[in-house]
Amino acid sequence: MITKITAVLSLACLLVLPAWAAPLQFDFKDPKGVNNITFKMTAPVEKISGSGNGITGRVTFDLENPAAVKGKIILAVASLHVPNPRMKGHMHGPEWMNAAQYPEITFEVVNAQNAKTMTNVTTADVTGKLTIKGVTKDVVVPVKMTYLKDRLKLREGREGDLLVLQGTFAVKRRDYGINPGKMENKVADDIQLTLSLVGAAPRP
C-alpha cells in the first residue's frame, strides 16, 4: 500500500513541475531581425566598427542546470556590414573574410564553467569552438543568459519563452587567416566581438 501511495505522489509531483523544469531548445533565427553581432577594431590610424545580423542556430538551455547549455550559433558572412561601401567590398573579398569560399562563422558550445544563477539570470564562462575562414579555435566567452518565461507572446504574439544571450570577447585576425600581418596601422589585429541575441522556444 505504501509503495502505491509513493508512486501516486511521485506522479503528482511530475505533473505539477513548472514548464521550464525540462531543457528547452531556443531558435535564434529572429523574425524581427534584431539579433546582431557587432565588431570593433582600433588601430593607430583608424577605428572600424560594424555588425552582422544574418544569425541562425539553436541552443538548448535548462534553468535547473545552466552549465549543461549546448548549441551552435551561425553568422552569415555576407551579412557583415560597415558604413563605407568600398571597405565593405574589401571585407567580403578573398584577402579578408572571403565570403564566397567561407560563407559562415560558427560558434559551437562545448561547456560552461563558473555558472552562477540569480532568479532568471545566469552568468558563465562558455567554452566554444569558433570557426572563421575554415579555422577552428577554442575560445572562452563570458556570457549572460537571461531566461524570460512566457515573454515570446509579447514579442511575437505566440506562446513560449525567450532566452537572451549577451557577451563580449576578443580574437586576433592573424589566428584566423584574416589578411594576417597586413595594414595593421589601419585595421587592428585585435577584433572585439559583442553578442546580443534573442532565441525563441515556442509552445505547441
- CATH number reported for the structural domain that contains residue 108 in this entry: 2.40.128.110
Measure Cα distances from 90 to 97, 107, 122, 178, 183 in Å: 9, 24, 39, 11, 13
Residue 3 located in a structural domain: no
Grid cell at residue 41: 577594431
- What's the pTM value of the predicted model, to 2 decimals? 0.86
Residue 183 located in a structural domain: yes
CB neighbours of 126 closer than 8 A, spacing ≥ 6?
69, 109, 111, 112, 140, 141, 142, 143, 167
Instruction: Report the phi/psi class of residue 109: left, alpha or beta, with left for phi > 0 and alpha for psi in -120 to 50.
Output: beta
Pinpoint the alpha helices (H) of the chain: 2-16, 85-92, 152-156
3-state secondary structure of 155: helix
Residue 8 located in a structural domain: no
Residue 181 located in a structural domain: yes
Residue 6 located in a structural domain: no
Question: What is the Cα 90 distance to its own chain's centre?
Answer: 26
Total domains in the fold of the chain: 1
Residue 9 located in a structural domain: no
* % of the chain exceeding 70 in pLDDT: 90
Residue 78 located in a structural domain: yes
Predicted confidence band of residue 21 (pLDDT cuts 50, 70, 90): low
Range of the domain at 78: 19-202
**Interval 99-108: pLDDT, tens:** 999 999 999 9
**Interval 35-87: pLDDT, tens:** 999 999 999 998 999 999 999 999 999 988 988 999 999 999 999 999 999 99
**Res 6: pLDDT:** 44
Measure Cα distances from 28 to 49, 79, 192 in Å: 23, 15, 21
Residue 11 located in a structural domain: no
